[in-house]
Structure 1
Amino acid sequence: MAVDLSGAVLIAGTTSDAGKSAVVAGICRWLHRRGVSVAPFKAQNMSNNSVVTPDGGEIGRAQAMQAHACGIAPGVDLNPVLLKPGSDRTSQVVVRGRADGQVSALSYRHRTAALAEVVADSLSRLRERYDVVVCEGAGSPAEINLRPTDLANMGFARRNDLPVLVVGDIDRGGVLAHLFGTLGVLEPADQALVAGFVINKFRGDVRLLEPGLEQLLTLTGRPTLGVLPFAEGLWLDAEDSLSAVADGVLGRPAPPRGAQWLRVSVIRLPRISNATDAEALACEPGVAVRYVTEPSRIADTDVVVLPGSKSTVSDLGWLRSSGMADAVAAHAAVGRPVLGICGGYQMLGRTITDPHGVEATPGTAVDGLGLLDLEIAFDRDKHLGTPTSTAWGQPVTGYEIHHGRVVRSGDPGLIGDEGSDRGNVLGTHWHGLAENDGFRRALLTRLAAEADRDGFRVADDTSFAAERTRQADLLADLVEQHMDTSSLEHVIRHGAPADLPVLTSGLAASAR
């Protein structure tokens, strides 16, 4: 029987990567399992990990993951504003799924008033369609220097009268100070919306933490609604593609089914994008996927993957200056496999030209690595798509996000006419190919053969979709077992209590 619940809540965090995305996904999945109609929402995201939605737009990958947890299809309203950094100072702005210019950190401030209306419209549509909307903040609400133009944290909460829960990552250390300090620097009207705290990634006996939680309650008047334990099995669909990487290794590799491992090295480009393409490979038993940044790590690998890039020309320059380009060429020269995806695919070709100045000075032309007989030119407009086809006898789906267009190819296609298949060097513009189980098995079998890993055996029972669902359920289990869900429901239904005390330090004191 479905639970009768309606309302909304904002999950903020003391820092980036505090666990906001995971907590939102867990709450969404917990509500979905109880029959609640629920949707995630992130007003403004900054990430180069994105997906193309069925309604034809581009949103942050974390919101697509959260939509999966809700049992709904992702759409552009879930993430109406997406910033995709192309350098340390500039980002592409994606508004309701479509690229809408470049901004600097300073110039972006002049667009936030108009974007706030876009955000409000998207949230309104979601609240009309779903009973509960679980919103995710961006960065930290304690970034008080950005408060006047805030789109996703306390400014967003104030405009929409949303209760706020603040998540802190205890694995970083100092979490009680982070939670107290985050509240303390907020002005009184913002503090009034903060209903409580959540602690994430706890290891050990929670009884040792309880005295600190009691003091935090005394100091702030806010309860801690949950202490979520550290969970080893959570690593798919991370908003920061490298946040779940330990010692360079992606995921938790299961032992091989055969006598040998298949070792895959993904080059960690400075502006890497959609690195989550490698996650489906890492789900397979006996496949060890690691990120690498220097040439010596390629010398002992079986497969090299060149992933997507938000700045293909710049990252190609880094490949050369770092020595990685020579290492990739040497790897391919002895017949070992190289796989390029999107921007990485473009780098493997002969030339890249930028007639419209999408990434560089208009008219820029650079040499690629020359491992594929391929010429690329950047279009002014970004190509977005969700194609379907067959490859190697397997049905495949994927998504495309790129400015680069193939203007000439002398190699056979990988998927029909799309992509390139030159024996041990392969490439495609399609993201998400490896999420197709049948194609992934055929791909790994071929890569292992090219790498002379005769003892590697691909598993025939790995389901990437099932693994993604398992991780969503694991997040929901953490919420159900380790949060005060009755209080969580009360906050969603009724908002923050009206009598919460104000901390009289910092901005709170100056604003009184």
Structure 2
Amino acid sequence: MRRGPAGAPALLVAGTTSDAGKSVLVTGICRWLARQGVKVAPFKAQNMSLNSVVTADGAEIGRAQAAQAAAAGVEPTAAMNPVLLKPGSDRRSQVVVRGRPVGEADALGYRDFKDRLRTVAAESLAELRTEYDAVICEGAGSPAEINLRPGDIANMGLARTADLPVLVVGDIDRGGVFAAMHGTLALLEPADQALIAGFVVNKFRGAPELLEPGLDMLRRLTGRPVHGVLPWLEGRSIDVEDSLALTAERAPVRAPVQGRTLRVAVVHTPRISNFTDIDALAVEPGVDLRFASSPQEVDDADLVVLPGTRATVADLAWVRERGLDAAVTARAEQGRPVLGICGGYQMLARRIHDEVESGAGAVPGLGLLPTAVTFAADKTLGRPVGSAYGHPVEGYEIHHGHSVLDDGADDGAEPFLDGWRRGAVWGTTWHGALENDAFRRAFLADVARCAGRDFAPAPDTDFAAERTARLDALGDLVEQHMDTAALLRLLEEGAPDGLPVIPPAGVPDA
């Protein structure tokens, strides 16, 4: 592709709302371009997410950008998501810059970071534009969040700085998509509007001819084309950003096998993180997977999973408030399987000492593993390898808490993936372990044995192939339902000149 003074061509995918389909569309475009032989990279200047991953060089970035890199067929890097915000409460987030935490901030304190972060974002995008043939950028939230526009580094602030053409995607399944698209454009100042090159309708179900009158009116009112209508596609979800995505659409596909079902309940804590750990369970035929927030919802499960969390102590308090602690403890005492991953593993300890994440000091854990957890100021980021059940296992680590056997006592515990197992209770700091097919099958077979269930994992389930198929489906979506010639023109030429301003914008030009 033709390179300009700024380097490789790039465009920004913005959305009318959060979860409108930005991540999915960027993933699909990256996949389609890669098929055309284009060396393409994803980019998200600022991401607020509790779903993250560790790159090969030890940087922490959002999992959505890692999935987009996989779609592009390239290795993810810190430059693809230079700013990551990890909420620890409703008001405070850990700020991760170029893959490393630099501090905690609330919404007001975050303003102090803005000038630095704007520079980091611009430099990261420029870096990618020197290394790749094209860069597909993803916005954050909506560009029409006009209260945040002065400090914006991810939407129109980025587009203006880098002179990027912008596509606005809207979710028609929510309703009101035409009003959302027109309103998004109208709320922007004229210089921002000049970069909005067109729209994409997402999640359409029905007869296309019924939609056409609305598309025509949107074209007349805005002077901008609709570059694609993407149909509803089951299982389109990728490694998304936050637990808002744990909706019916993302609910794992259940594949019950008569007489061989294994029921798995995942405790849905308020600050659940890296819930993509369970995606590999969802592809197993016969695994019936659900999220749970009450004792009744875990009572009949064959396996209860305590997943990762950004706020171990606070989420442990939430578990106790709802009586889930007693339900999980009773299960363990009966020899019924429990798995803790990262923060969930920390909850299983006898005691927790946290002066870092929560500042709570000494807190009793659930006592289901003979471990003690101490939180350190430095975050552990890594991609460990090991083995379990005689099979190789790869994973990744993202945590402040460090677990050791309490006072050196083993209490019948045995090592398990850099964590511990005692009876039918397993704990590990490793995310992604269940994506290893042979290990996952052996683990589930052991769970079934402990639970007394007549269940055997399928011998040929391939999680990597399943993920590849999802990425291919998104590439197909772009190829079959978008104006790809127009997409290439936007990359090569930028936003067309003379796009009309929609009055009244109501926002003074910056």
For the aligned pair, the TM-score class normalised by the smaller chain equals over 0.9
Contact 1:4/1:36 (8 A) holds in 2: no
Tell me the residue number matched to 1:357.
356
Residue 316 of structure 1: how far off its partner (Å): 0.5
Contact 1:378/1:403 (8 A) holds in 2: yes
Contact 2:345/2:429 (8 A) holds in 1: yes
Tell me the residue number matched to 2:226.
224
Residue 333 of structure 1: how far off its partner (Å): 2.0
Matches within 5 A, 1:429-444: 429-444=429-444
Tell me the residue number matched to 2:45.
43
Contact 2:24/2:238 (8 A) holds in 1: no
Tell me the residue number matched to 1:158.
160
Structure 1 vs Structure 2: percent identity of aligned residues? Answer: 59
* SS of residue in 1 equivalent to 2:197: strand
CA, structure 1 residues 441+236, in 2 after alignment: closer, same or farther (shift >3 Å)? farther
Residue 301 of structure 1: how far off its partner (Å): 1.1
Q: Tell me which moved more, 488-497 or 325-334.
A: 325-334
Tell me the residue number matched to 1:468.
467
Matches within 5 A, 1:13-92: 13-92=15-94
Output the CA distance in 2 between the equivalents of 1:89 and 1:150. 19
Matches within 5 A, 1:87-166: 87-166=89-168
Structure 1 residue 502 and structure 2 residue 501: aligned?
yes
Contact 1:163/1:495 (8 A) holds in 2: yes
* SS of residue in 1 equivalent to 2:464: helix
Contact 2:256/2:288 (8 A) holds in 1: no
Matches within 5 A, 1:104-503: 104-241=106-243, 243-246=245-248, 250-256=251-257, 259-354=259-354, 356-361=355-360, 364-409=361-406, 410=410, 411-415=413-417, 418-454=418-454, 456-503=455-502
Give, as a single letter, the amino acid of the residue that structure 2 aligns with 1:107.
G
* SS of residue in 1 equivalent to 2:468: helix
Output the CA distance in 1 between the equivalents of 2:420 and 2:448. 19
Contact 1:245/1:251 (8 A) holds in 2: no
Give, as a single letter, the amino acid of the residue that structure 2 aligns with 1:159.
T
Contact 1:241/1:274 (8 A) holds in 2: no
Output the CA distance in 2 between the equivalents of 1:391 and 1:298. 26
Residue 172 of structure 1: how far off its partner (Å): 0.6
Residue 244 of structure 1: how far off its partner (Å): 4.9
Give, as a single letter, the amino acid of the residue that structure 2 aligns with 1:386.
R
Runs of 4 or more consecutive aligned structure 1 residues displaced over 3 Å after TM superposition:
3-6
Output the CA distance in 2 between the equivalents of 1:167 and 1:76. 26
Output the CA distance in 1 between the equivalents of 2:509 and 2:429. 52
Contact 2:335/2:424 (8 A) holds in 1: yes
Residue 138 of structure 1: how far off its partner (Å): 0.3
Residue 245 of structure 1: how far off its partner (Å): 3.3
Residue 407 of structure 1: how far off its partner (Å): 3.4
Contact 1:307/1:343 (8 A) holds in 2: yes
Give, as a single letter, the amino acid of the residue that structure 2 aligns with 1:371.
L
Contact 2:64/2:238 (8 A) holds in 1: no
Q: Tell me which moved more, 226-235 or 311-320.
A: 226-235
Q: Tell me which moved more, 289-298 or 141-150.
A: 289-298
Output the CA distance in 1 between the equivalents of 2:2 and 2:439. 42
Residue 4 of structure 1: how far off its partner (Å): 7.1
Contact 1:244/1:251 (8 A) holds in 2: no
Residue 67 of structure 1: how far off its partner (Å): 0.5
Give, as a single letter, the amino acid of the residue that structure 2 aligns with 1:280.
A
Give, as a single letter, the amino acid of the residue that structure 2 aligns with 1:250.
A
Contact 1:313/1:360 (8 A) holds in 2: no
Task: Show CA shifts across 1:351-397 (max 9, x none).
Answer: 0002x433224xx1000001111100001111111011111111110
Contact 1:298/1:331 (8 A) holds in 2: no
Output the CA distance in 1 between the equivalents of 2:370 and 2:340. 13
Task: Show CA shifts across 1:466-500 (max 9, x none).
Answer: 11110000001010111011111111111110110
Residue 246 of structure 1: how far off its partner (Å): 1.5
Output the CA distance in 2 between the equivalents of 1:242 and 1:278. 16
Contact 1:337/1:425 (8 A) holds in 2: yes
Residue 236 of structure 1: how far off its partner (Å): 3.9
Output the CA distance in 2 between the equivalents of 1:353 and 1:233. 40
Kindly report the root-mean-square deviation, in angstroms, between the aligned alpha carbons of the 2 structures.
1.4
Task: Show CA shifts across 1:197-219 (max 9, x none).
Answer: 00101111111111001000000
Contact 2:2/2:492 (8 A) holds in 1: no
Contact 1:235/1:251 (8 A) holds in 2: no
Give, as a single letter, the amino acid of the residue that structure 2 aligns with 1:434.
L
Residue 7 of structure 1: how far off its partner (Å): 1.1
Residue 25 of structure 1: how far off its partner (Å): 0.1
Contact 1:59/1:79 (8 A) holds in 2: yes
Output the CA distance in 2 between the equivalents of 1:381 and 1:476. 39
Task: Show CA shifts across 1:119-167 (max 9, x none).
Answer: 1111111000101000000000000000000010000100000000000
Contact 1:329/1:371 (8 A) holds in 2: yes
Residue 511 of structure 1: how far off its partner (Å): 4.3
Contact 1:280/1:464 (8 A) holds in 2: yes
Residue 426 of structure 1: how far off its partner (Å): 0.3
* SS of residue in 1 equivalent to 2:415: coil
Output the CA distance in 1 between the equivalents of 2:247 and 2:424. 27
Residue 241 of structure 1: how far off its partner (Å): 4.3
| Contiguous gaps of at least 5 residues in structure 1 | none
* SS of residue in 1 equivalent to 2:479: helix
CA, structure 1 residues 453+245, in 2 after alignment: closer, same or farther (shift >3 Å)? farther
Contact 1:154/1:190 (8 A) holds in 2: yes
Contact 1:241/1:276 (8 A) holds in 2: no
Residue 408 of structure 1: how far off its partner (Å): 2.5
Q: Tell me which moved more, 233-242 or 81-90.
A: 233-242
Task: Show CA shifts across 1:261-280 (max 9, x none).
Answer: 10100000011010110101
Residue 412 of structure 1: how far off its partner (Å): 1.0
Give, as a single letter, the amino acid of the residue that structure 2 aligns with 1:485.
T
* TM-score, normalised by the number of residues in structure 1: 0.96
* TM-score, normalised by the number of residues in structure 2: 0.96
Residue 259 of structure 1: how far off its partner (Å): 2.4
Give, as a single letter, the amino acid of the residue that structure 2 aligns with 1:65.
A
Residue 233 of structure 1: how far off its partner (Å): 2.1
* SS of residue in 2 equivalent to 1:65: helix
Residue 345 of structure 1: how far off its partner (Å): 0.2
* SS of residue in 1 equivalent to 2:506: helix
